[in-house]
């Protein structure tokens, strides 16, 4: 069985408060994007306890079972379902790592869904959501995998009808690793004057002046090259441009028929969706 974990972009991101458990309450809008990894799972007959053999190709990732989210997803289900079959799992990685696109979270969530099918576990989406949250704050979104307004750590999801298919989105990642913990530490949480849930209902042309990502000022000060990407996207004619998550990916939303040569450095990851 082969599935294709996709990534997401954040349409706005506000850090509201720090919680007693060390996490932050936030609000954001998750929008799925069709840049995908490929994940293949094969159930194998094996006597004795069930095992996972994990391999990968494409962008190099850490296959260590202590940190790899696909492996963690298998072990998480195996704890509750000892009869889970042995699995050969191969991930071909395309989505840039640590890029604010949720690629690792997507791989973990799709692993849960793949194992649910291969193991005939008959888990509901609600139950998969519960497992996904144990793997990471962004993971539950990829169980739903539809445009939605997110609160809490990002796990409280409200599906919301928004369609950007009439536009083209340019995704630009410069390959810079942003220290998310450091970025969080530099942000002063605050309740915004206007919620993203309200702003997202404004015309797309109004987003530039109203829809913000709290991480941008901090990250742009740390890495001026990332801020320069946003400026360049607006120069190229973007209706709206923003950093996704805590970076370092920046995206621009353009009119569908607008043609241009972006001329970003050749080592950048640049995709049109």
Cα-based angle 17, 217, 142 (whole degrees, multiple of 5): 60
- Residue that has been written with the tokens 């195996």 in this structure: 78
How far apart, in whole angstroms, are the C-alpha atoms of residue 199 and residue 265?
33
How far apart, in whole angstroms, are the C-alpha atoms of residue 147 and residue 8?
9
Q: What are the catalytic residues?
A: 8, 138
How far apart, in whole angstroms, are the C-alpha atoms of residue 217 and residue 222?
9
Crossing angle between the packed helical segments 69-80 and 103-118, to the nearest 10 degrees: 40
Assigned token pair, 261: 């040569």
Assigned token pair, 37: 């990894």
CB 62, CB 27: distance < 8 Å: no
């Amino acid at each position: 069985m082969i599935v294709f974990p996709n990534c997401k972009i954040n349409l706005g991101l506000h850090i509201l408060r720090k919680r007693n458990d060390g996490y932050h309450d936030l609000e954001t809008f998750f929008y799925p994007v069709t840049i995908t990894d490929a994940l293949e799972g094969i159930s194998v007959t094996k006597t004795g306890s069930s095992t996972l053999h994990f391999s990968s190709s494409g962008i190099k990732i850490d296959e260590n079972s202590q940190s790899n989210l696909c492996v963690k997803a298998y072990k998480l289900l195996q704890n509750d379902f000892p009869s889970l079959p042995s699995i050969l799992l191969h991930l071909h990685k395309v989505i840039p790592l640590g890029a604010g696109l949720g690629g690792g979270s997507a791989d973990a969530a799709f692993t849960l869904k793949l194992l649910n099918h291969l193991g005939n576990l008959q888990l509901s989406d609600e139950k998969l959501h519960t497992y996904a949250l144990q793997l990471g704050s962004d993971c539950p979104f990829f169980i739903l995998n539809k445009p939605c307004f997110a609160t809490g750590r990002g796990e409280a999801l409200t599906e919301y009808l928004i369609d950007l298919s009439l536009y083209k989105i340019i995704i630009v990642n410069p390959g810079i690793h942003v220290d998310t913990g450091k970025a969080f530490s530099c942000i002063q949480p605050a309740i915004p004057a206007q919620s993203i849930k309200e702003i997202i209902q404004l015309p797309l042309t109004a987003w530039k002046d109203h829809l913000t990502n709290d991480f941008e000022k901090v990250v742009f000060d740390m890495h001026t090259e990332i801020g320069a990407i946003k400026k360049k996207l607006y120069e190229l004619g973007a209706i709206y441009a923003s950093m996704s998550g805590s970076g370092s990916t920046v995206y621009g939303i353009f009119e569908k028929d607008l043609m241009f040569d972006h001329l970003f450095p050749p080592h950048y990851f640049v995709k049109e969706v």
